[in-house]
Structure 1
């Protein structure tokens, strides 16, 4: 099965469907983040925003309207992992066999899994999956690549390792955030019907059916947008609350804040974004050195491919609105 899947992913040329938003990199001289404000003005019905900078500045626009979350929802999985570590149900140094992680991989992730393998120093000569599925990583490694590289397979492995009960109990803190089995969503896209993940993993006949139908999956951005519209959803208000709460959970914020540059006076910047064709989502939690906490969530839908390629500018715009009162006012005006 594994060799057949590897061959399939090499030859199929699948387009990304859940790539991580770009990290907080310096703003290029040619970038114009304010252009996203013009997009907001022209697409108010496709934007949901909940932002609180912790000093009285707030923006709420369609904050309780449900929209697709894409990989921004993985903060819920991270919260469940942090709870498991805190209560002794899981150890960060627990060994995980790479093959057990990769059984949840089915492509359509925009290269996230390969970025994860690269970050963990795992060779993958076929360009898709690990050369040696018998080697080990740690549970904390999987939490790290779930957040930093948005690895869908790591997310689903953590879900099953932690248990449905813990994941659902954690999600109940923010009940309007749908927490998916991502592999189940991809299988639905491929097969055109719902099948259980456990059945897929244990049924060779079903696996062969998936292999047979995978080459017919739409490969283009526009071809994948109808599927993305119907994926897991939630509200900006709930996502912003989740980020605010996780600023106080060390095991979670360590992953959300890792590697993010700190402006003067800021103690931590936690970030998790997400994207699917037509969907771009952003979530932030910010801790100031004086103890103040801010959070933000921006959900956008019906984003064309050109704007999708400018997702990094949206990330910077949202962070600026949290850090700078003038930028927050611009955002307020754009959505008023």
Structure 2
């Protein structure tokens, strides 16, 4: 019989270690200044571009390719905006939950579980929706991809919109070499030790059984997965930064990235994209002021240990402060110069 995602996930019982940054910047217990010290000591593992919109600018290793993690979702959101405007997609079209969940391998550290909760979809097993025949809108999927980094939603969008649409959006956003990988494909490569065609996996019960059989041997620890995450999709802080600055041309994408985030007086919206993998933290922030000014920052860091990764909210706070406080970019400049 054809194995369903429910069968696969119930059989493996595995929880992934792909960490996600918070859906909104928040104060953190660790001192952001401690991140400045880490940045100072690890300049060769940092790529950053920042423009606060008031003349404060920073570029450190802007064209060095580093792992992107789920920060790549900004491309998917721009592609969605482009497809809707071009009549190739309808925000209200219904998507069967099972057709979305077929891309879910269970290695996103709970992002899919949070997506189900956000859409009020009951999940008794905590892995998949109880009713695979329930439907959500395409815009619902974009929302959980933007706010929770749900890998399955991103992969559904990738296949629904088409890789060509995503690449066109990336080009229009100034990021012509943006990667648009299948996230499921990357995790399958970890499980199987080789690259496989994702569409073949989705249709091949024998390959699905092989995945189930190999899952117990997948490294579960942070340190154990770091060698793999070094091989995941890479690009540059400069490319991500250019797309962030171009998001005024993708209003639906911008609305999803800004949803639910408020800022101090004078700020009209704060957009966030980012993600984490063992050893990797990535983030893109965009602050839009009511007077029309825009500040943007793209920061990619790698070779981050487990403890440091746990203080990711402090890095978000630090970067956001650099966009909001006119004096703050200088602190970054001193650390990275």
Residue 139 of structure 2 corresponds to residue 137 of structure 1: no
**Partner of residue 292, structure 2:** 291
> Separation in 2 of the partners of 1:9 and 1:288?
47
Under a length normalisation based on structure 2, what TM-score does the superposition of the two structures give? 0.96
Aligned residues: 332
Deviation at 1:201, TM superposition (A): 0.7
Q: Compute the displacement of 1:179 (Å).
A: 1.6
- Structure 1's 26 and 104: CA in aligned 2 closer, same or farther, altered over 3 A? closer
Gap regions ≥5 residues in structure 1: none
Corresponding residue for 1:4? 7
- Describe how 1:27-42 pairs up with structure 2 within 5 A: 27-28=27-28, 30-42=29-41
Q: Which residue of 2 is the match for residue 325 of structure 1?
A: 326
Map 1:228-247 → 2, pairs under 5 A: 228-247=229-248
The answer to whether the Cα contact below 8 Å between 1:9 and 1:128 also exists between their aligned partners in 2 is no
CA distance in 2 between counterparts of 1:249 and 1:102 reads 27
Pair 1:113 & 2:112 matched: yes
Question: 1: distance between equivalents of 2:30 and 2:303?
Answer: 22
Alignment check: 8 A CA contact 2:49 2:58 kept: yes
Contact 2:26–2:313 (CA<8 Å) still a contact in 1? no
Distance 1:248 1:36, change over 3 A: same
Map residues 113-192 of structure 1 onto 2, 5 A cutoff. 113-172=112-171, 173-192=174-193
Cα distance in 2 for residues equivalent to 1:307 and 1:261: 27
In the alignment, structure 2 segments of 5+ residues that lack a partner are: none
> 1:24: how far off?
3.0
Q: Helix, strand or coil: the match of 2:270?
A: strand
In the alignment, the residues of structure 2 paired with residue 164 and residue 47 of structure 1 have an alpha-carbon distance, to the nearest angstrom, of 29
CA contact (8 A) 1:6 1:126 kept: no
Q: Which secondary structure state, in structure 1, belongs to the residue aligned with residue 328 of structure 2?
A: helix
SS in 1 for 2:287: strand
Cα distance in 1 for residues equivalent to 2:265 and 2:330: 21
Corresponding residue number in structure 2 for 1:65? 64
**Is 2:9–2:106's contact at 8 Å kept on the other side of the alignment?**
no
SS in 1 for 2:282: strand
Measured after TM superposition, the shift of residue 9 of structure 1 is 4.1
1:262 positional shift = 1.6
Alignment of 1:93-104 (within 5 A): 93-104=92-103
Cα distance in structure 1, aligned partners of 2:40 and 2:25: 26
Q: Give the corresponding residue for 2:256.
A: 255
For residue 20 of structure 1, what is the aligned residue in structure 2? 20
1:165, CA displacement in angstroms?
Answer: 1.7
Q: 1:142-181, CA deviations, whole angstroms, 9 ceiling, x for partnerless residues? A: 0010010000000000011111221222233412321211
User: SS of 2:246's equivalent?
Assistant: helix
TM-score normalized by the length of structure 1: 0.96
CA distances 1:95-120 after superposition (whole Å, capped 9, x unpaired): 00000000000111010000000110
How far did 1:26 drift? 4.1
Partner of 1:75: 74
